[in-house]
Amino acid sequence: MPSPKHDLKLFYLKENMAQSYLGFRDILAFNSNPSTDLDVAVRSIPILGENPDVDSGTVPETVWEIGGMYVFPTAASVCTIVSSSTDDITTSGTGAWQVLIEGLDSNYKEILEVVALDGTNNVVSVNSYFRVNAFRVVYSGTAKYNVGNITCTVDSKTVRYIAATESLDHTAVYTVAAGHTFFPINVSHSEERSNTSIVTISNKVYVPSTNTIYDSSERGISGTDSSNNGELSFPRIPEKADYYFEIAYASTTNIRVFTVARGLLVKNNFLPKILP
């Protein structure tokens, strides 16, 4: 992984891409198919994570709502989706009717689909997923949100989870699609417990081509404070790499932890057009 202190070209690239993206000009002109975001040369990607209950005796834990450690699928499979409430059912329920899955297939190519819910009965996706990057409610009944907890399982592993009433998952895990590079722009963490509670969080990158995990230095936050990482640990993340956040230390019990990250996903064939 390149050093964030010396890769000046990447610093220039990130700053200028961010400014251009916010104006929806220049870079986005390379959209070859306006009907789908998957063909846009540069996209802004949010990564939202929450772990509602971290204890000193259970760390490390991933920043996601289920708690414990996130386990990546080892094979692509259909996504099995189910709610804990019978109200989350298409056309007749007051809760969620349909969810959107955004992920990657076995070749790390981007795929997405909308799946109709059937309450507490399992439904399965048409596509097979190796990674799921986002999972959210896109259509609902009169409640305007999911009444129950909705889980998405791939390869017998829970990979995404929408808590009741939240309408989207909060999982600080993201995998870079084939043919793309991810440029983190900002990462911030916060925690809620007491003025004396302390947690430390590290972000990690797993690169399958070298079977290597890169681990950043841990960042500590205390009480109700937040940490905004001005100097990012990884200036760029290559295709097919897993990018995720872990809680390494907790000083006490029942700490709620939040992570908000943002970055730009850039097609590799577009990079020469914007590198200085």
User: pLDDT by residue (tens digit) across 98-156?
Assistant: 999 999 999 999 999 999 999 999 999 999 999 999 999 999 999 999 999 999 999 99
Q: Write down the pLDDT at residue 31.
A: 40
Between 164 and 275, the higher pLDDT residue: 164
Q: Write down the pLDDT at residue 274.
A: 67
Written as one letter, the residue type at 96 is A
Residues 6+ away with beta carbon under 8 Å from 15: none
C-alpha–C-alpha distance, residues 44 and 269, integer Å: 17
User: Exposed, middle or buried, 191 (CB in 10 Å: 0-12/13-18/19+)?
Assistant: buried
Q: Write down the pLDDT at residue 192.
A: 80
User: pLDDT by residue (tens digit) across 223-260?
Assistant: 655 555 544 667 889 999 999 999 999 998 999 999 99
C-alpha–C-alpha distance, residues 264 and 269, integer Å: 15
When pLDDT is averaged across residues 218-226 and rounded to a whole number, the result is 64
Q: Write down the pLDDT at residue 234.
A: 77
Strand order in the sheet with 123-129: 123-129, 77-83, 150-154, 157-162
Q: Write down the pLDDT at residue 51.
A: 96
User: pLDDT by residue (tens digit) across 167-211?
Assistant: 999 999 999 999 999 999 888 888 887 667 888 898 899 999 999
Between 41 and 17, the higher pLDDT residue: 41
- Strand, coil or helix: what is 236? coil
Element holding 162 (H helix, E strand): strand 157-162
Judge contact between 20 and 31, C-beta under 8 A. no
Q: Write down the pLDDT at residue 32.
A: 40
Judge contact between 256 and 61, C-beta under 8 A. no
Q: Write down the pLDDT at residue 186.
A: 87
Q: Write down the pLDDT at residue 24.
A: 35
Q: Fill in the DSSP letter of residue 171.
A: B
Q: Write down the pLDDT at residue 147.
A: 98
Residues 6+ away with beta carbon under 8 Å from 254: 53, 54, 55, 193
C-alpha–C-alpha distance, residues 13 and 181, integer Å: 12
Q: From the CB of residue 72, how many other CB atoms can be counted at a distance below 10 Å?
A: 15
User: pLDDT by residue (tens digit) across 37-88?
Assistant: 456 788 889 999 999 999 988 889 999 999 999 999 999 999 999 999 999 9
Q: Fill in the DSSP letter of residue 86.
A: T
Between 14 and 237, the higher pLDDT residue: 237
Pairing between strand 123-129 and 255-267?
A: unpaired
Q: Write down the pLDDT at residue 40.
A: 76
Give the pTM. Answer: 0.85
Q: Write down the pLDDT at residue 125.
A: 98
Between 251 and 22, the higher pLDDT residue: 251
C-alpha–C-alpha distance, residues 101 and 136, integer Å: 7
C-alpha–C-alpha distance, residues 208 and 148, integer Å: 35
